[in-house]
Chains A and B, each alone.
Chain A
């Protein structure tokens, strides 16, 4: 029977030509991109991004083929003797075999591409699950759904729900987002309606995060399983009439749908107001003042963290904190990002009872007795839309209050000297504390790995990273992102480059610009993916006591300089008023001094600064030379309070030269 069905398929010109095109075009493009030098990961991301079109094409082809018997009025005769949907069953089987062949071919292309263009075999050992979830299973779902429509007895009428399904899974439906919070929560309704249809890789127009998986969160897996079971339930109950299978599939489908709706940390890049840009609304960025302020004097510090971290759908933390105050007090305030809800908080200290209140980013603890030392037990869970933490990947930088920090901290900062730029404060540090965290899976942290997922150390922060990230045994670099490497730029080359960047940057900062680099030297480099600082400012690099958390290739003179300049919150407004400092901040300080001065000259001319400004600038450049001028300008940018205005600075430079 199957051979007859295949024969019919081959005889049908529409089917044959469609199949040939379906194989040739995507495989052709895949081979083309492979030969262009795309890495395995990039190629898989590209395929995942365009899989919707493959699914839509498959659905159309499947509909045409599987509903053939009904369309040609053969179905009823075929079903004589109780053989319900006999043709459709064989047609489905054949379509699924084609899908299997197509995907096998794609997998082979991906493996060959990776073998040729990748630096290691990491991708080959990693990609299969991501491929299944982003390519194969969505195609199977579309074909199976089409089978149900075709075998329903009224394919014409059932086509409308299928077209709606195709629309809801499409990138076009993805584009329907609200960038501003609407008055009526229509966006919430739309998201709830659309969630079950997010079976394909989302937001493919954005470049992927190499550290994060290809959206392999548990909730998404549950969703895929839900669809498979739901379609099985429909087939078993409406077509195959197998009641036990139908009952079991229906029950489990419902379970997985519910599981998929759990709160979860899912990293999705879209322009929705409550997506990765949620904090713009939450913190009223550009409405309130978020310039860096001097923190209040801490009356207490957290001297010990004993935490258990469970990375499942989102982050769940439970553990003990030791609070130590300079004097006895009853009130303690800690900062914890408002996306993490405190479930439980009580005092371990004998004879002390505490009450707590969580308000925005702050946890207010009130003890019934004034104490200088307080031990508390805390349990919280939740997630942040950008700094994800789930069973697949983790991006929890040490400057972000994903763990309680003593005192009131600024979570976001605005940079007036950069116009409307904003970012998360990379300057939050805790007083050095004894830290012990136990996780439910291996991670990379700034702490020492004690084995058995236990990490300990005495540090000024807790950074936790996970996902497509590989620990290194190097003295300087703690880790590498294997999916970022490619043939000719493997681990060795990567390490060599990052170290070279680091040491050369320090040297230039010190020698060329007279910057005190003592706080920057002798640090371990801990790398996270580019998404650490994506779409925000001043988050690509941060300097801690024992390590630097950075994005690869973002360890440069420019990055260090901006980090140091922006750390000085007091003089932000002063910098904003200085055209010269603005030019320093917007220049590529890694360029040669001559090029920099030429750029500045052009900049001054374009900005129509007063003629005497240009004259002063040109005189300074001519008199002290480009190198010295740039060096002095860098110092000015770092310490603007030393001069009232640019004129005074130029006069200083000229006077110094004259002396």
Chain B
């Protein structure tokens, strides 16, 4: 398998009494993958485990050395209302240990990517729902992550914003691994090279197949 970025081996997770993930195995190359499935299929749980927000009960995730940061946009994302957009992203940049010397440029670049350039001094409480979502994408892009995990990224975005988002994602093709969870067939069709279909905590199908 060439250019394998991430190996996901038999990941299991139980939440309460319910086994949410029953041994997920995947191999992800630098590409854009869609993650589809009904509610409760385990999409968000898988993304959380990959993001490191949640621990798996079993299995392992192997990421090659030097693979860099992970960018993660959760399903619910908000901002500290009292901070400006710039300050909010600065917070994330600090967490990602982006050097101070290039922090400003990195933040402005990320904001440009999501069409929030010029809004850095705006207070977060004044952002619309769509703008908050874009700010969330911007923070996920900080540090040029090798793995980008997006959970329902286009929720709350209007047509224009969705187009911009699609453009951003397309530009990442081949550069990094993007795993994008969505209910929207249009997003799956337009953005994803492959679609991973989850059902009841298992991989039902990968279209097209990405592993032997």
- Residues of A bordering B, CB below 8 Å: 1, 4, 7-8, 11-13, 68, 72-74, 76-84, 86
CB neighbours (8 Å) of A72 from chain B are 78-81
Beyond the given pairs A4-B94, A8-B91, A81-B96, 15 more chain A to chain B contacts, judged by CB atoms under 8 angstroms and listed by A's residue number, are: A13-B82, A73-B77, A74-B78, A76-B77, A77-B92, A77-B136, A77-B140, A78-B92, A79-B53, A80-B51, A80-B70, A81-B51, A81-B52, A82-B52, A83-B95
| In the A-B complex, the 9 residue pairs with the closest CB atoms | A73-B78, A82-B52, A11-B82, A80-B72, A76-B74, A72-B78, A73-B76, A80-B51, A79-B53
Using a CB-CB cutoff of 8 Å, which residues 70-118 of chain B contact chain A? 70-74, 76-83, 87, 90-92, 94-96
Interface membership of B9, Cβ < 8 A? no
Judging by beta carbons under 8 Å apart, are B95 and A86 in contact?
Answer: yes
Q: Find the residue from B74, B77, B82, B136 having the highest chain A CB count within 10 A.
A: B82
Interface membership of B154, Cβ < 8 A? no
Residue of A nearest to B51 (CB): A80
Judging by beta carbons under 8 Å apart, are B53 and A74 in contact?
Answer: no
Judging by beta carbons under 8 Å apart, are A77 and B82 in contact?
Answer: no
Determine how close the nearest CB of chain B comes to the CB of A4; give it in whole angstroms.
Answer: 5
Judging by beta carbons under 8 Å apart, are A8 and B53 in contact?
Answer: no
Q: Which of A1, A12, A76 contacts B82 (CB 8 A)?
A: A12
Count residues on chain B whose CB falls below 8 Å from chain A CBs.
28
Determine how close the nearest CB of chain A comes to the CB of B16; give it in whole angstroms.
Answer: 13
Interface membership of B139, Cβ < 8 A? yes
A–B complex contacts, Cβ < 8 Å, 22 sampled: A4-B87, A4-B90, A4-B91, A7-B87, A8-B83, A72-B80, A73-B76, A73-B77, A74-B77, A74-B78, A74-B80, A76-B51, A76-B76, A77-B74, A77-B139, A78-B92, A79-B52, A81-B51, A81-B52, A81-B70, A81-B95, A81-B96
Determine how close the nearest CB of chain A comes to the CB of B78; give it in whole angstroms.
Answer: 3
Interface membership of B164, Cβ < 8 A? no
Contact with A along B138-182 (1 / 0, CB 8 A): 011000000000000000000000000000000000000000000
Q: Roughly how many angstroms separate A7 CA and B78 CA in the complex, as a whole number?
A: 18
Q: Roughly how many angstroms separate A166 CA and B96 CA in the complex, as a whole number?
A: 37
User: Are A68 and B53 CB-contacts (below 8 A) given A4-B94, A77-B136?
Assistant: no
Interface membership of B25, Cβ < 8 A? no
Q: Which of B70, B83, B92, B94 contacts A11 (CB 8 A)?
A: B83
Residue of B nearest to A69 (CB): B80
Determine how close the nearest CB of chain B comes to the CB of A241; give it in whole angstroms.
Answer: 8
Interface membership of B200, Cβ < 8 A? no
CB neighbours (8 Å) of A73 from chain B are 74, 76-78
Determine how close the nearest CB of chain A comes to the CB of B66; give it in whole angstroms.
Answer: 15
Residue of A nearest to B92 (CB): A77
Interface membership of B27, Cβ < 8 A? no
Determine how close the nearest CB of chain A comes to the CB of B112; give it in whole angstroms.
Answer: 20
CB neighbours (8 Å) of B51 from chain A are 76, 79-81
CB neighbours (8 Å) of B53 from chain A are 76, 79-80, 82, 84
Residue of B nearest to A7 (CB): B87
Determine how close the nearest CB of chain B comes to the CB of A181; give it in whole angstroms.
Answer: 46
CB neighbours (8 Å) of B74 from chain A are 73, 76-77
Residue of B nearest to A10 (CB): B82
CB neighbours (8 Å) of A86 from chain B are 95
Q: Roughly how many angstroms separate A81 CA and B140 CA in the complex, as a whole number?
A: 12
Using a CB-CB cutoff of 8 Å, which residues 37-78 of chain B contact chain A? 48, 51-53, 69-74, 76-78
**Number of residue pairs across A and B with beta carbons under 8 Å?**
71
CB neighbours (8 Å) of A76 from chain B are 48, 51, 53, 72, 74, 76-77
Q: Roughly how many angstroms separate A73 CA and B80 CA in the complex, as a whole number?
A: 9
Q: Find the residue from A13, A73, A74, A80 having the highest chain B CB count within 10 A.
A: A80
Judging by beta carbons under 8 Å apart, are B95 and A1 in contact?
Answer: yes
Judging by beta carbons under 8 Å apart, are B73 and A77 in contact?
Answer: yes
CB neighbours (8 Å) of B78 from chain A are 72-74
Determine how close the nearest CB of chain A comes to the CB of B122; give it in whole angstroms.
Answer: 14
Q: Which of A8, A11, A78 contacts B95 (CB 8 A)?
A: A78
Q: Roughly how many angstroms separate A79 CA and B50 CA in the complex, as a whole number?
A: 12
Determine how close the nearest CB of chain B comes to the CB of A246; give it in whole angstroms.
Answer: 15
Determine how close the nearest CB of chain A comes to the CB of B12; give it in whole angstroms.
Answer: 18
CB neighbours (8 Å) of A78 from chain B are 91-92, 95
Q: Roughly how many angstroms separate A84 CA and B48 CA in the complex, as a whole number?
A: 12
CB neighbours (8 Å) of A11 from chain B are 80, 82-83
Residue of B nearest to A241 (CB): B55
Q: Roughly how many angstroms separate A78 CA and B69 CA in the complex, as a whole number?
A: 13
Determine how close the nearest CB of chain A comes to the CB of B108; give it in whole angstroms.
Answer: 18
CB neighbours (8 Å) of B94 from chain A are 1, 4
Determine how close the nearest CB of chain A comes to the CB of B25; give it in whole angstroms.
Answer: 21
User: Are A80 and B90 CB-contacts (below 8 A) given A68-B80, A74-B77, A74-B78?
Assistant: no
Q: Roughly how many angstroms separate A77 CA and B139 CA in the complex, as a whole number?
A: 9
Determine how close the nearest CB of chain A comes to the CB of B21; give it in whole angstroms.
Answer: 18
CB neighbours (8 Å) of B83 from chain A are 7-8, 11
CB neighbours (8 Å) of A82 from chain B are 52-53
Residue of A nearest to B53 (CB): A79
CB neighbours (8 Å) of B136 from chain A are 77
Judging by beta carbons under 8 Å apart, are A8 and B92 in contact?
Answer: no
Judging by beta carbons under 8 Å apart, are B79 and A74 in contact?
Answer: yes
CB neighbours (8 Å) of B77 from chain A are 73-74, 76-77
CB neighbours (8 Å) of B70 from chain A are 80-81
CB neighbours (8 Å) of B82 from chain A are 8, 11-13
Q: Roughly how many angstroms separate A84 CA and B55 CA in the complex, as a whole number?
A: 10
CB neighbours (8 Å) of A77 from chain B are 72-74, 77, 92, 136, 139-140
Q: Find the residue from A1, A8, A73, A81 having the highest chain B CB count within 10 A.
A: A81
Determine how close the nearest CB of chain A comes to the CB of B156; give it in whole angstroms.
Answer: 12
Residue of A nearest to B132 (CB): A73
Residue of A nearest to B87 (CB): A7
User: Are A80 and B71 CB-contacts (below 8 A) given A1-B94, A4-B94?
Assistant: yes
Q: Roughly how many angstroms separate A179 CA and B74 CA in the complex, as a whole number?
A: 57
Residue of A nearest to B136 (CB): A77
Q: Roughly how many angstroms separate A1 CA and B78 CA in the complex, as a whole number?
A: 19
CB neighbours (8 Å) of B139 from chain A are 77
Determine how close the nearest CB of chain B comes to the CB of A270; give it in whole angstroms.
Answer: 44
CB neighbours (8 Å) of A12 from chain B are 82
Q: Roughly how many angstroms separate A556 CA and B71 CA in the complex, as a whole number?
A: 82
CB neighbours (8 Å) of B96 from chain A are 81
Residue of A nearest to B91 (CB): A4
CB neighbours (8 Å) of B69 from chain A are 81
Q: Roughly how many angstroms separate A82 CA and B80 CA in the complex, as a whole number?
A: 21
Residue of A nearest to B88 (CB): A74
CB neighbours (8 Å) of A7 from chain B are 83, 87
Determine how close the nearest CB of chain A comes to the CB of B67; give it in whole angstroms.
Answer: 12
CB neighbours (8 Å) of B73 from chain A are 77
Determine how close the nearest CB of chain B comes to the CB of A157; give it in whole angstroms.
Answer: 14
Residue of A nearest to B84 (CB): A11
Determine how close the nearest CB of chain B comes to the CB of A272; give it in whole angstroms.
Answer: 44
CB neighbours (8 Å) of B48 from chain A are 76
CB neighbours (8 Å) of B81 from chain A are 72
Q: Roughly how many angstroms separate A77 CA and B77 CA in the complex, as a whole number?
A: 7
Q: Roughly how many angstroms separate A281 CA and B148 CA in the complex, as a whole number?
A: 73
CB neighbours (8 Å) of B72 from chain A are 76-77, 80
CB neighbours (8 Å) of B87 from chain A are 4, 7-8
Determine how close the nearest CB of chain B comes to the CB of A85; give it in whole angstroms.
Answer: 11
Determine how close the nearest CB of chain B comes to the CB of A68; give it in whole angstroms.
Answer: 7
